[in-house]
Each structure stands twice: as structure tokens, then as C-alpha cells.
């Protein structure tokens, strides 16, 4: 039975990407060797890395002066690396606290300097994006999480200030057109819109580096990784390759502009059903709703078993909400087809009929 995979990450990837990735594991590009048994310094793999990098630049329309890295350690290691590379000695940074990931990020930054929490939505279980805040002039950088995977909220506008802007885009990168010149550093774990778990994309404006006065350990130093084209040490070959395939798929489909249109359509359909359906209510504030992670709850918790049985029977998987929010979360990333969203909507309608009888 076909599965409708609404997992929050690792998550759905395009079928044709999975097929090509599977082939490369036995015979890569017809060279009679597996992708995963060749040297990362072979011309074959160096080409993969270069392609991946230039696809990122092209798809996001990056301005000149930005470097693209594929690292290891997940977005969680970036929580530390961003601070190591940007927080001056005796420095200070401004953090938006819009969810569990933001708050983990600021925890690591506190090890290296002062952290000013400029705004938080913790008071309402992070169900909104704070809009009332002041960024003081004395901070080295501002950090925010563009899309809050767990709570289903998303920044639509980004703060303007004189400080550097750092953004964790783990769960919405490549999903919508953005002016990247407003960001100084962007990072994202691959395992949502870009590829499998195991690599992290980092986009950094070169001129902001090397200014903290700190000695940075080699593996945490963006300048070292830049100088070695992401091959300071052995890169995570398979995750980088599958990311490259996924970015190629996105390009063939028309790029970020094209996918943004589809993403908006999918989100609009699903939120409309949540609002219309008497059995569901949305979790996030309407104006801050995420186009990637759609969070919702039952209006009557007592019917949970009935709904769970229905979606299970429909071949739906991965829609249980995060334990800190409860309810449901349908992650509708780039690779999620509109048909699967329709299957979920049909199931929600069937559920409403069933509990009304």
C-alpha cells in the first residue's frame, strides 16, 4: 500500500531521488564502484560536492561573497559553531526564543558570551511569532529560527537591525523565495527539504568571519571549512550526494518559485479544512502559521482513537504531534505531493461524518 509520509524529519524525499540514490549505492555513474566506496578526493565525488554547492547558490539566488558548506553534526552543532565564529570575546548576542530549537541554540551561545533574549513566545507554548521587540546596538549578531518545526509557526518578515542576522532554516529552506542578502549566516540540517540526515548546509557571508578574537577549534571554524571546500575532513558522502539529487530535482521542477506556489496551495487546502471541520482546531496563531508543519488538535480529545484508526487505514504515517504539543502535525515539505494532502483532508472529512453519527 502506498504510504503518505507526513514525518517531520527525516521525511519524505522525491521518489526519483530515492531511485537514483539506490542505484548509486551499487554502481555509481556506471564506474562499477559504489558511491560509498570511492575516495572523497576522487574526481567523481569532488564533482558531486561542486554541483551541490552551485545548485544551492543558483536555487537561492545567493549574492556574491557568500560561501556554501556541507558539514556534519546537524543543526545542533551549528548552535555552537555560530556562536564560536561570531560571538566576540566578552560579546553579546540577541536571540529570539520561538521554540525548543531556538532555546537549545541560545543555551549553547551562553557558553561563549552574553545572550539577550529579545522576544519569546514561551508564554503560549510557542504558538505565535513575537512581533514586539527591540534589538540593541551592542549585539554581535541576532539569531532566529525561521520555521518552528515543533509548533508550526513561521517568520514571514525578518528583523532589521545593524547587527548580523543568523537564521536556522532547518525546516523551511528551499520552500519559499527570500532575499538572502538580508542574512549573514544561514544553516539547515539536510533532513527536511534537502536530503537525508547526516549533512548540514551552511551559507555564510565571508566578510563576517575571523573577527571575534577567539581561537576556534579546527572542526568548528567556518574559515577552515571554506578554505578546504567542505573537505577539511572526510565529508558525509551519501547525504551530500542525495542532497545534490534533491536540489537537481527542485531545479528541474522550476526552482524555489515553482515549489513555493505548490507549498502555498497545499498549506491553504489543509488549513482551510482544519478551520472548516468542526472536529479540528489549529494550534498556531493564524497569521504565523507555517507552510511546512501544520499543527492541529481535536476539538474533542475523546475521539482520538477513532481518528488514529482512520488515518492509519488510509496509509498515512508520521502525523502524531510532538510530545511537547500533543495533537497532530502534518509536515508538508517540498517533496510532499498534493495528492497525499488530499488523502489527509478526505480522512479528516470522513472522521467528522463518523463522529457526527
Q: Extract the annotated binding site for pyridoxal 5'-phosphate.
A: 75-76, 101, 149, 168, 191, 233-234
Among 174, 280, 311, 333, binds Mg ion (CB under 5 A): 280
Q: In this chain, which of 15, 227, 233, 300 binds ligand PLP, going by CB under 6 A?
A: 233
Report CA torsion sign: 31, 235, 71, 231: negative
Q: Which is nearer to its own copies, 110 or 131 (CB)?
A: 110
Give every strand in the sheet of 293-298, ordered side by side. Answer: 280-282, 293-298, 328-331
Considering 97, 172, 192, 288, which one is annotated as catalytic?
A: 192
**Least distance (Å) between residue 221 CB and its own copies:** 11
Question: Considering the complex, what minimum distance in angstroms separates the CB of residue 149 from ligand PLP?
Answer: 3
Ramachandran category for residue 61: left, alpha or beta (phi over 0 → left; psi -120 to 50 → alpha) = left
The DSSP element (H or E) to which 19 belongs, if any, is helix 15-26
Of these, 98, 127, 145, 246, which contacts ligand PLP (CB under 6 A)?
Answer: 145
Residue 155 binding Mg ion, by CB under 5 A:
no
- Residue 139: CA atoms inside 13 Å, Cβ hemisphere, count? 22
Cα four-point dihedral sign 224, 227, 229, 232: negative
Report what 280 binds from its own copies, ligand PLP, Mg ion, none; CB cut-off 5-8 Å by kind: Mg ion
Residue 20 annotated as catalytic: no
User: Does 300 contact its own copies by CB under 8 A?
Assistant: no
Task: Exactly one of 97, 140, 168, 184 is catalytic; name it.
Answer: 168
150 binds Mg ion (CB under 5 A): yes
Q: How many CB atoms lie within 10 A of CB 90?
A: 8
154 binds ligand PLP (CB under 6 A): no
Tell whether residue 103 is a contact of ligand PLP (CB under 6 A): no
Angstrom CA distances, 154 to 148, 168, 247, 261, stand at: 6, 12, 22, 17
Tell which residue, 193, 172, 181, has the closest CA to residue 129.
Answer: 172
Q: How many residues bind ligand PLP (CB under 6 A)?
A: 13
Distance of CA 59 to the CA centre of its chain: 15
Annotated binding site for L-glutamate: 41
Residue 163 binds Mg ion (CB under 5 A) = no
Burial of 280 (0-12, 13-18, 19+ CB in 10 A): buried
Q: Is 23 a binder of its own copies (CB under 8 A)?
A: yes
In whole angstroms, what is the distance from residue 38 CA to residue 43 CA?
Answer: 10
Q: Where do contacts with its own copies occur on this chain (CB under 8 A)?
A: 1-3, 5, 7-13, 18-19, 21-23, 25-26, 31-34, 36-40, 72-77, 79-80, 104, 107-108, 111, 189, 191, 196-199, 215, 217-220, 232-239, 242, 317-318
Active site residues: 101, 168, 192
Amino acid at each position: 500500500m502506498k504510504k503518505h509520509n507526513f514525518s517531520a524529519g527525516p521525511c519524505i524525499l522525491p521518489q526519483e531521488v530515492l531511485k537514483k540514490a539506490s542505484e548509486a549505492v551499487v554502481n555509481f555513474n556506471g564506474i562499477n564502484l559504489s558511491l560509498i566506496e570511492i575516495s572523497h578526493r576522487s574526481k567523481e565525488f569532488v564533482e558531486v560536492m561542486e554541483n551541490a554547492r552551485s545548485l544551492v547558490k543558483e536555487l537561492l539566488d545567493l549574492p556574491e561573497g557568500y560561501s556554501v558548506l556541507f558539514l556534519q553534526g546537524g543543526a545542533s552543532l551549528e548552535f555552537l559553531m555560530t556562536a564560536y565564529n561570531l560571538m566576540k570575546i566578552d560579546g553579546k548576542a540577541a536571540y529570539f526564543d520561538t521554540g525548543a530549537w531556538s532555546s537549545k541554540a541560545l543555551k549553547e551561545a551562553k557558553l561563549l558570551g552574553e545572550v539577550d533574549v529579545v522576544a519569546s513566545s514561551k508564554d503560549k507554548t510557542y504558538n505565535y511569532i513575537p512581533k514586539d521587540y527591540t534589538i540593541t546596538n551592542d549585539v554581535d549578531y541576532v539569531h532566529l529560527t525561521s520555521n518552528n518545526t515543533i509548533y508550526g509557526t513561521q517568520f514571514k518578515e525578518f528583523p532589521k537591525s545593524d547587527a548580523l542576522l543568523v537564521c536556522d532554516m532547518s525546516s523551511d529552506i528551499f520552500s519559499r523565495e527570500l532575499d538572502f542578502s538580508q542574512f549573514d549566516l544561514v544553516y539547515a540540517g539536510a533532513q527536511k527539504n534537502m536530503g537525508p540526515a547526516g549533512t548540514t548546509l551552511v551559507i555564510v557571508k565571508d566578510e563576517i568571519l575571523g573577527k571575534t578574537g577567539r581561537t576556534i577549534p579546527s572542526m568548528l571554524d567556518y574559515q577552515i571549512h571554506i578554505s578546504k571546500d567542505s573537505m577539511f575532513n572526510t565529508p558525509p558522502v551519501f547525504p551530500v550526494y542525495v542532497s545534490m539529487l534533491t536540489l537537481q530535482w527542485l531545479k528541474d521542477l522550476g526552482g524555489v518559485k515553482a515549489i513555493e506556489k505548490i507549498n502555498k496551495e497545499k498549506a491553504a487546502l489543509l488549513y482551510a479544512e482544519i478551520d472548516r471541520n468542526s472536529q479540528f482546531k489549529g494550534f498556531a496563531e493564524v497569521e504565523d502559521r507555517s507552510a511546512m508543519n501544520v499543527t492541529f488538535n481535536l476539538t474533542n480529545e475523546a475521539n482520538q482513537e477513532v481518528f488514529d484508526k482512520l488515518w492509519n487505514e488510509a496509509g498515512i504515517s508520521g502525523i502524531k504531534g510532538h510530545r511537547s504539543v500533543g495533537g497532530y502535525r502534518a509536515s508538508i515539505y517540498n517533496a510532499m505531493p498534493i495528492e497525499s494532502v488530499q488523502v489527509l483532508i478526505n480522512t479528516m472529512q470522513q472522521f467528522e461524518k463518523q463522529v457526527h453519527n
